[in-house]
Amino acid sequence: MMEITRREEFSAAHRLFNPDFSDEENEALYGKCANPHYHGHNYTVEVTLRGPVDPATGMTYNLADLKTAMRREIIDKVDHKNLNEDAAGFMKNRIPTAENIAISIWERLEEHIEAGLLHRVRLFENERNFVDYYGGR
């Protein structure tokens, strides 16, 4: 079994806010991230595929194809966007936490990558905070 990973970067703004909570509850839960004027991050996303090496090609998956899919399905949709407003469809109207962004990335990619190969989405919100998502396993 081989694991291969492609890394991309994007910049986006967001606000962590649950409309079912009061402003005070949101501020208590999300702190400065509940700022009504939003704030931004320079995100790094890593997508890892896991599978056998094809003896005919010597590859588990063509990384050029993964690059194309990541840029078309993720980067073009969220880079320099407001995740609450401009990319609400991408986020499926979820609160744009790192966890939910990773889930949205997985959902966008899984329809474009051969079944069973998508192994992990790792999203760095900054150099110290990141999440790993392994699908619905």
Catalytic annotation, pick one of 9, 25, 80, 114: 80
Question: What residues have CB less than 8 Å from 1, skipping those under 6 apart?
Answer: 50, 51, 52
User: What single string gives the DSSP state of each residue in 89-135?
Assistant: HHHTT----HHHHHHHHHHHHHTTS-TT-EEEEEEESSSS-EEEE-T
Catalytic residue among 8, 33, 107, 110: 33
d(CA 11, CA 120): 21
Residue 24 catalytic?
Answer: no
80 is catalytic: yes
Active site residue 125: yes
Measured in degrees and rounded to the nearest 5, phi and psi for residue 78 equal: -120, -20
Residues marked active site are found at 33, 80, 125
